[in-house]
Amino acid sequence: MIKIQIDGTFYEVKGDRNLLETCLALGFDIPYFCNHPSLGSVGACRLCAVKKFADADDKKGRVVMSCMEAVTEGMRISVNDPAVKTFRAAVIEGLMTNHPHDCPICDEGGECHLQDMTVMTGHNYRKFVFKKRTYNNQNLGPFVQHEMNRCIQCYRCVRFYRDYAGGKDLNVFGSANHVYFGRHKDGILESEFSGNLVEVCPTGVFTDKPLKKHYARKWDMTNAPSVCMHCGLGCNIIVSERYGSVRRVMSRYNGSVNGYFICDRGRFGYEFINNPDRIKKIQFRPSKNNNLQEAREVSETGLSEIFKSGKVVGIGSPRASLESNFALSALVGKNNFFHGISGKEQKLIQKAVSILESGIAHSPSLKEIEKCDAVLILGEDVTNTAPMMALSLRQASRNKTLGIAAKLGIPKWNDNAVREMDQDTKSPFFIASSFSTKLDELADEIYNAAPGDIARFGYSIASAINSGAPVLIHPDEKLQNRVRKIADALSAAENPLIVTCITSGNEDILNASANIAIALSTAGKKPSIAIAFPECNSVGLSMLDGGSLDEAADTISKNGADTLIILENDLYGRLSLKNADSIFEKCRQIIVLDHLMNETAKRADILLPASTFADSVGTIVNNEGRAQRFYNVIQVAEPVKESWRWISDMVKISEKNNDYTWDKFDNVVASLVSSYPVFSGIKEKMVSADFRFFNEKIARQNKRFSGRTAMNANISVSEPKPPQDNDSPLNFSMEGYKGDPPSSLIPYYWSPGWNSSQSMTKYMDEPEGHLKEGGDPGIIIFSNKNKSSVDYFKNFPDPFKAKPGELLIVPVYMIFGSEELSSKGETIAERISEPFILFNEKEITKLQLIENEKSKFIINQVVITAIVKHDNKIPDGVAGLSVLTAGMQYTDLPDLGKVLST
Amino acid sequence: METPLTEHIKENRPPLRLSDYEKVGGYRGMHKALKEMAPADIISLIKSSNLMGRGGAGFPTGLKWSLVPKDVPGGSLKYLIANADEMEPGTFKDRYLLEGNPHQLISGMIIAAYAIQARKAYIFIRWAYKKAEIIIRNAISEAYEAGYLGNNILGTGYNLDLYVHSSAGRYICGEETALINSLEGKRGLPRAKPPFPATSGLFGQPTVVNNVETLCWIPHIVENGAEWFTKLSITGEGGTKIYGVSGRVNKPGLWELPVGTTLREIIEKHAGGMKDGYRLKGVIPGGASTDFLTEAHMDTRMDFASVRTAGSRLGTGTMIILDDKTCPVAFIHNMIKFFALESCGWCTPCREGLPWVQKILESFEEGTAKTEDIGILEFQTQYMGPGNTFCAHAPGAMEPLQSGLKYFCDDFLKHIEEKHCPWRRL
């Protein structure tokens, strides 16, 4: 610890961050713009000035920028010195010479860091009497609104977009006082992380464009802590609501998961909740001869008969909460509960989870991924399947540079200095993939091959690391040299990471990854394996007992089923048309619980409106094995109910087992934990609905929430009673605990004087640190078994050989379009491409296809029409087909296919 | 009086070719340095000569060289850069040296590069110096032909490649770290210091950036010794300096004179005094970014220390004269306009402050200024003072304004009282 003196008081600090962040962590309000804990500091805005004294006798001191000062033993500074206070106000005054007076109509107003800093410095009276500078704005696509006149040139946008996230198409142009931040011309921002500009920008230059369509001020929105549903990483989010619709999603800080950022799918994917196709009523299908259609309501006797006598089969879902899945399994019994994913996917996920649980490798958090010093990616395109993992990997690629900088005495936070000092070095970074990926630009070695060959590549790396591993040596000497290079780099690293895949549908790649981890462990290393699980609760679901969809189909076709209950799942996105149809044909009665109309919902005899993550409480488990809780932000509106509550009603009707009727969320959790002790942490460590903080619930609404009495005045002038929430310790009102709530219950960020999301820092032990009051949310479910129990995998696949006239079609996942729910939001829909198929150019010529034109292909009897595009990294005999949940019939990939001759 | 820097420069005659220059003693210093001296010896020689950077800041050259790490891990490259991006208003001394005697610079660069063990050197030249660029390129070809550049120079095993880079034309690129960014193909923004270029410069490698005039001294000091150099000056700072005068004097121009020559001697003797009918009102001693001196300072000795004592900076030593028939506000406004335009736009005080000052000064010229504007201007000079900004650009710009407000306050006030510029006929 280092001792420093601030305005006469001594403090003990760690000293690894810059002076500004050190002071912020101590609770000082030093205004700043260009500093960002994850981006470091560059000294551009000059707002964070403090006085630094040479020694105890120095009375004069000198002005320094606290963001550019290292903290040193005995340092003596003043934050409140009159000279620096005047200077800071003058910096704001300078910025205000050009900043427009449009706060009342600016989307940022009320949560604007510039407003906060202006108030903080005390600048109010305007002396500048001349004309302001104006700019033209650009159309940057559907996500981000551009209003350059508001720009205060802090350079944060380009530093995030380019330096941190690797974007290319946003830059700074011009000089002097006509510096311009934008694209070279109008156009869609290409980065998967562009939405973060909304939060990174300290004022209203980059704002949330979908929010603009249904705008509400920060203080007028009801908020809840939530978890992103659009991939397996479980990034923490804050969901905001007004008048019953979700208005926006912002990132919620979790120092172990997503940090300050989220991807665009996570930020803008919520719009499916507001989709007009939402199922909001109980619907009956007038078909077959069931006795329910006439009743037009859930007939207790009818269902009761079914549940008592008939066979009921339940199909769960990896996009539904643990609690809802468990409720269904409790209703139908473990033997009749199926996971709702294909047998192949289930096997891959269970294998992946068993590898992570075996202890042969650590399952790293996103933050831990950032610290890895050598990376090998086998077969996964994380930018599209788990975008935030790609962002973490980008940071990991800088670790070698940071190490060199540290040796030269340049701290990590001195961002430009680090980037200038070392412009070429990258941490060892290797990619094996069937097609080109965005992270290729970071890689030292790229091996492009068919999935089976990627597995062989992995096996050979394992055997090059440790001679005990099953030996696979490539006859191609050049290739074997690359294998050796990778093996050496992984062996030399302190924290080697293997990113492996489920989405490419190849179990051998998982096995090969495990072999590399075992080889590294045997060599005394502590390897990590990171896996992008396909859906938000793939991992949680896999920990419940239950068969696969294929097994469900088998059971149903063999024994038939009276009733099939499908939980939040579209089987037509997981099974071929024929197989899905066969399931439906064999069942007398089909009950579907879901949010949105889809092919499965269309076939329901009884369609029950299930609440989404925004109007329910639930727990999901992410790729790391971290169970996290999402909370309801919308008051669930009858007849919409949480799936587990619908199922509880069914249990009641069935008169089967009263242990499985629940009127509160916590009761479901209790049942879950008693059946599955592996989840005991969820009950013990996560807060229950009874939890009170200093005897109070946590308010979902800001202290300044306005119009509670006026919101519904057009309907009734009397103030409605705030709804009771028995499922969470949060209140649907502004009444509640006034301070910082426990970390897992932060509904919005606010601190006196800090109205923007920059107030996040106030909730942490230090900037970019961990949340106070409970640490980073989430409970690790994985238990680490004894590593000696895992043996090397030995069965190598044969090398891939292209056969004439036959193509190996591999899946190409897309950040926009491959995930079901987000695709149903209107904004994301604008970014979804048409179905496409990738070949190398030689192959296009050979197959006599025409680039950029549609062609037909046949894969396992399914005819696919897709636009032909080229990607020269695709090997001969292989094609990459876009995976889209809409506009394309499902087909299981990888599979063999061919061009359909006309 | 010795004039080592300019003695072989003759106006209206092309510069000496390599062979002709060698006949009059050119490259002797280079031979001596490479053949007889170890790199460390050269650095200590330059250190003992107390040669101070002629670009304007006056940083000791030997010290700068000595900060370059001796052994770079992994044997990576080190670089030497000649800063020939001479864009300081009123300054044209480097142009004179570049056009007049390119081989003097090249031989100086070879020695300097050898001293810091750089394998690559660049001349970063102002875009407008087209003629100088051609001359330098030709001279470099001659030096390669003579074996003074390239591999195994003079059989010593030492290799050096020298490149010319014509800048895109920004004042800020004369700042050494902005120059480095520009040379790398990036935006011409200054870099944060520390780290200094000596540890992390061009492409992140140890780099020395020296002014043209500074580098031109190196062969002479190597050849004649530190003591000889020190004795050239009147005061203790050593050497001669190219002083220049522009403005309404009888003979504007530049002269190589001993360091420490008085301001009076330069203006009255060498520049021939003020033109008839004009009186000297003020002098900006070293380019636009230095404080005014007035008649009261005419006996100031023009070296770094004495000019500092007088309240200004020697800067480039090429002065601009303000006469009594020129409006001082307009004079300052003109310079501020230049500085506002040339701000890189990185830090707030400079980017927002200079245009504001420019607009206020414009309002003085237009006769719409108010008394409180003087207060705003005074505040802005402190606000854009050293340490408050990212680099020295805005503090430099404020130097003529702050001293102008001090010496010519009455003239500022007259603009306000008369509601027009008193120097302009109504």
With cut-offs at 50, 70 and 90, classify the pLDDT of residue A286: low
Q: Which carries the bigger pLDDT value, residue A562 or residue A139? A: A139
Q: Which residues of B touch A98 (CB under 8 A)?
A: 352
Supply the ipTM of this predicted assembly. Answer: 0.95
Residue A94, pLDDT score: 97
Residues B88 and B110 grouped into a single domain: yes
Cross-chain residue pair A46–B348, CB shorter than 8 Å: yes
Out of B297, B323, B349, pick the residue that ends a domain. B323
Q: Which residues of A touch B181 (CB under 8 A)?
A: 420
CA-based nearest residue in chain A for residue B178: A420
- Rounded CA gap, A156 and A364, in Å? 28
Residues B337 and B294 grouped into a single domain: no
Domain that holds residue B273: 240-323
Taking the CA atoms of residue A191, residue A192, residue A195 and residue A199 in that order, the dihedral angle to the nearest 10 degrees is: -90
With cut-offs at 50, 70 and 90, classify the pLDDT of residue A718: confident
CA-based nearest residue in chain B for residue A401: B204
A123, A175, A178, A179: best to mutate for the B interface, most B CBs within 10 A: A175
Q: Which residues of A touch B383 (CB under 8 A)?
A: 87, 90, 94
Q: Give the angle subtended at the CA of A479 by the CAs of A477 and A484, to the nearest 5°.
A: 90
CA-based nearest residue in chain A for residue B201: A421
Residues A487 and A376 grouped into a single domain: yes
Q: Which residues of A touch B349 (CB under 8 A)?
A: 46, 90-91, 94
Residues B314 and B333 grouped into a single domain: no
Out of B323, B340, B365, pick the residue that ends a domain. B323
Residue A444, pLDDT score: 94
In a domain, B156, yes or no: yes
Q: Which residues of A touch B191 (CB under 8 A)?
A: 416-417, 420
In a domain, B157, yes or no: yes
Cross-chain residue pair A49–B390, CB shorter than 8 Å: no
- Rounded CA gap, B308 and B313, in Å? 5
Give me the mean pLDDT over the A78-104 stretch.
Answer: 97
**Half-sphere exposure of A790 toward its Cβ, with a 13 Å CA cutoff?**
27
In a domain, A781, yes or no: no
Cross-chain residue pair A64–B356, CB shorter than 8 Å: no
Nearest-by-Cβ selection for B348 from A94, A175, A420? A94
CA-based nearest residue in chain B for residue A69: B194
In a domain, B3, yes or no: no
Residue A295, pLDDT score: 41
Residues B346 and B312 grouped into a single domain: no
Across chain A, mean pLDDT equals 93
Residue A729: asked if its preceding bond is cis (omega within 30°), the reply is no
With cut-offs at 50, 70 and 90, classify the pLDDT of residue A423: confident
Residue A293, pLDDT score: 42
B171, B200, B351, B398: best to mutate for the A interface, most A CBs within 10 A: B351
Q: Which residues of A touch B348 (CB under 8 A)?
A: 44-47, 91, 94-95, 152-153
For the ranges A735-749, A777-791, A828-842, which has the lowest average pLDDT? A777-791
**Tens digits of per-residue pLDDT, B55-101?**
999 999 999 999 999 876 555 689 999 999 999 999 999 999 999 99
A177, A400, A410: best to mutate for the B interface, most B CBs within 10 A: A177
In a domain, B251, yes or no: yes
- Rounded CA gap, A296 and B22, in Å? 108
Q: Could you tell me which residues of chain A have a Cβ less than 8 Å from any Cβ in chain B?
A: 42-47, 49, 62-64, 68, 87, 90-91, 94-95, 97-98, 127-128, 130, 152-153, 155, 172, 174-179, 408-410, 414, 416-417, 420-423
For the ranges A401-405, A458-462, A464-468, A657-661, which has the lowest average pLDDT? A657-661
B181 vs chain A: nearest CA distance in angstroms?
A: 9
Cross-chain residue pair B388–A63, CB shorter than 8 Å: yes
Residue A787, pLDDT score: 53
Residue A719, pLDDT score: 80
Cross-chain residue pair A87–B390, CB shorter than 8 Å: no
Residues A500 and A549 grouped into a single domain: no
B172, B202, B346, B362: best to mutate for the A interface, most A CBs within 10 A: B346
CA-based nearest residue in chain A for residue B358: A130
In a domain, A279, yes or no: no
Residues B79 and B183 grouped into a single domain: yes
Residues A150 and A186 grouped into a single domain: yes
**Tens digits of per-residue pLDDT, B308-349?**
999 999 999 999 999 999 999 999 999 999 999 999 999 999
B172, B341, B352: best to mutate for the A interface, most A CBs within 10 A: B352
Cross-chain residue pair B355–A176, CB shorter than 8 Å: yes
Q: Which residues of A touch B389 (CB under 8 A)?
A: 46
B59 vs chain A: nearest CA distance in angstroms?
A: 21
Cross-chain residue pair A90–B343, CB shorter than 8 Å: no
Cross-chain residue pair A49–B195, CB shorter than 8 Å: no
What are the phi and psi torsion angles at A144 (to 5°)?
Answer: -125, 130
Residues B250 and B166 grouped into a single domain: no
Q: Which of A531, A512, A515 is nearest to A356 (CA)?
A: A531
CB atoms within 10 A of CB A649: 17
Residue A359, pLDDT score: 87
Residue B358, pLDDT score: 98
Q: Which of B87, B105, B47 is nearest to B174 (CA)?
A: B87
Q: Which of A229, A226, A187, A230 is nearest to A814 (CA)?
A: A230
In a domain, B206, yes or no: yes
Cross-chain residue pair B204–A44, CB shorter than 8 Å: no
**Tens digits of per-residue pLDDT, B230-247?**
999 999 999 999 999 999
Residue A869, pLDDT score: 98
At A600 the three-state DSSP class reads helix
The answer to whether residue A636 scores a pLDDT higher than 80 is: yes
Cross-chain residue pair A417–B192, CB shorter than 8 Å: yes
| A572 in Cβ contact with A890 (< 8 Å) | yes
Q: Which residues of B touch A68 (CB under 8 A)?
A: 192
Give me the mean pLDDT over the B284-301 stretch.
Answer: 96
- Residue B329's alpha-carbon distances to A761, B352, B367, B401, in angstroms, are 48, 20, 11, 9
Cross-chain residue pair A44–B346, CB shorter than 8 Å: yes
With cut-offs at 50, 70 and 90, classify the pLDDT of residue A391: very high
B342, B348, B368, B380: best to mutate for the A interface, most A CBs within 10 A: B348
B356, B389, B393: best to mutate for the A interface, most A CBs within 10 A: B356
**Chain pair A-B, CB pairs under 8 angstroms:** 107
Q: Could you tell me which residues of chain B have a Cβ less than 8 Å from any Cβ in chain A?
A: 170, 181, 184, 187-188, 191-192, 194-195, 199-200, 203-204, 340-349, 351-356, 359, 372, 376, 379, 383, 387-390
| A241 in Cβ contact with A612 (< 8 Å) | no
Per the structure, the count of domains in chain B is 3
- Rounded CA gap, B216 and B112, in Å? 10
Q: Which two tokens stand for residue A446?
A: 């790229």
Residue A405, pLDDT score: 93
Residues B340 and B305 grouped into a single domain: no
Residues B155 and B142 grouped into a single domain: yes
Print burial letters for A778-814: b (CB count within 10 Å at least 16), e (below 16). Answer: bbbbbeeeeeeebebbeebbeebeeeeeebbbbbbbb
Residues B312 and B355 grouped into a single domain: no
For the ranges A305-319, A465-479, B20-34, B295-309, which has the lowest average pLDDT? A305-319
Residues B317 and B257 grouped into a single domain: yes
In a domain, A117, yes or no: yes
The answer to whether residue B141 scores a pLDDT higher than 80 is: yes
Cross-chain residue pair A420–B204, CB shorter than 8 Å: yes
In a domain, A479, yes or no: yes
Residues A358 and A331 grouped into a single domain: no
Per the structure, the count of domains in chain A is 5
The answer to whether residue A289 scores a pLDDT higher than 50 is: no
Residue B1, pLDDT score: 82
pTM greater than 0.90: yes
Residues A514 and A396 grouped into a single domain: yes
CA-based nearest residue in chain B for residue A171: B187
CATH of the domain at B55: 3.40.50.11540
Nearest-by-Cβ selection for A410 from B195, B340, B387? B195
Residue A305, pLDDT score: 66
Q: Which of A672, A685, A568 is nearest to A629 (CA)?
A: A685
Element (H, E) at B216: helix B212-224
Out of B323, B349, B370, pick the residue that ends a domain. B323
Residues A334 and A350 grouped into a single domain: no
CB atoms within 10 A of CB A584: 18
Return the amino acid letter for A417: A
Residues B152 and B265 grouped into a single domain: no
Under DSSP, the state recorded for B174 is G
CA-based nearest residue in chain B for residue A96: B352
Domain that holds residue A634: 293-339+539-763
Out of A537, A566, A601, pick the residue that ends a domain. A537
Residues B365 and B257 grouped into a single domain: no
CA-based nearest residue in chain B for residue A99: B352
CATH of the domain at B317: 3.10.20.600
Residues A170 and A246 grouped into a single domain: yes
Out of A31, A65, A96, pick the residue that ends a domain. A96
Percent of chain B topping pLDDT 70: 98
Residue A637, pLDDT score: 86
The answer to whether residue A290 scores a pLDDT higher than 60 is: no
At A797 the three-state DSSP class reads coil
Residues A729 and A647 grouped into a single domain: yes
A640 vs chain B: nearest CA distance in angstroms?
A: 53
Cross-chain residue pair A409–B191, CB shorter than 8 Å: no
- Rounded CA gap, A201 and A578, in Å? 50
The answer to whether residue A160 scores a pLDDT higher than 60 is: yes
For the ranges A123-137, A391-405, A786-800, A829-843, which has the lowest average pLDDT? A786-800
